[in-house]
Amino acid sequence: MTSGIRFDNVSVAYGGNVVLDSLDLTVEPGEVMALLGPSGSGKTTALRAVAGFVRPASGRVFIGGRDVTALPPHRRGIGMVVQNYALFPHMRVEDNVAFGLRAQKVPKGEIPARVTEALELTGMAAYARRHPRELSGGQQQRVAIARALAIRPGVLLLDEPLSALDAQLRSGMLAELARLHRELPDVSVLYVTHDQVEALTLADRIAVMDRARLRDCGTPQELYRRPRTEFTASFVGNANLLPVTVAPGAVRFADRELKVPVPAGAVPGAGATLCVRPHLVGLGDGPNALRGTLAEVQWRGATHRLYVDVGGHRVMADLRELRDPPRLGAEVTLHFAPDDAVLLAAGVTP
Ligand X SMILES: Nc1ncnc2c1ncn2[C@@H]1O[C@H](COP(=O)(O)OP(=O)(O)OP(=O)(O)O)[C@@H](O)[C@H]1O
Nearest approach, Cβ of 28 to ligand X (angstroms)?
23
Report what 188 binds from ligand X, Mg ion, none; CB cut-off 5-8 Å by kind.
none
Task: For Mg ion, give the closer residue by CB, 41 or 122.
Answer: 41
CA dihedral of residues 281, 282, 284, 288 (deg, nearest 10): -40
Task: For Mg ion, give the closer residue by CB, 44 or 139.
Answer: 44
Any contact of residue 51 with ligand X (CB under 6 A)?
A: no
Any contact of residue 14 with ligand X (CB under 6 A)?
A: yes
Nearest approach, Cβ of 160 to ligand X (angstroms)?
6
Indicate which single residue of 4, 42, 77, 220 sits in contact with ligand X (rule: CB under 6 A).
42
Nearest approach, Cβ of 43 to ligand X (angstroms)?
4
Site for Mg ion, rule CB under 5 A: 44
Any contact of residue 44 with ligand X (CB under 6 A)?
A: yes
Beta bridge partners of 304: 299, 319
Task: For ligand X, give the closer residue by CB, 18 or 346.
Answer: 18
Any contact of residue 226 with ligand X (CB under 6 A)?
A: no
Task: For ligand X, give the closer residue by CB, 160 or 176.
Answer: 160
Q: Count CA atoms within 13 Å of residue 192 on its CB side.
A: 22
Please work out the total of residues on this chain that contact ligand X, with binding judged by CB under 6 A: 11
Task: For ligand X, give the closer residue by CB, 83 or 171.
Answer: 83
Any contact of residue 19 with ligand X (CB under 6 A)?
A: yes
Report what 249 binds from ligand X, Mg ion, none; CB cut-off 5-8 Å by kind.
none
Span from 41-49, 235-243, 251-259, 282-290 in contact with ligand X (CB under 6 A): 41-49
Task: For ligand X, give the closer residue by CB, 81 or 308.
Answer: 81
Residues with Cβ within 8 Å of 266's Cβ and at least 6 positions away in sequence, in order, are 246, 272, 343, 347, 348
Task: For ligand X, give the closer residue by CB, 40 or 137.
Answer: 40
Task: For ligand X, give the closer residue by CB, 3 or 41.
Answer: 41
| Closest of 51, 62, 54, 53 to residue 11, by C-alpha | 54
Indicate which single residue of 41, 140, 196, 273 sits in contact with ligand X (rule: CB under 6 A).
41
Nearest approach, Cβ of 199 to Mg ion (angstroms)?
14
Beta bridge partners of 20: 12
226 and 342 Cβ atoms separated by less than 8 Å: yes
Any contact of residue 45 with ligand X (CB under 6 A)?
A: yes
Nearest approach, Cβ of 163 to Mg ion (angstroms)?
9
Any contact of residue 16 with ligand X (CB under 6 A)?
A: no
Indicate which single residue of 60, 66, 74, 194 sits in contact with ligand X (rule: CB under 6 A).
194
Positions touching ligand X (CB under 6 A) are: 14, 19, 37, 39-45, 194
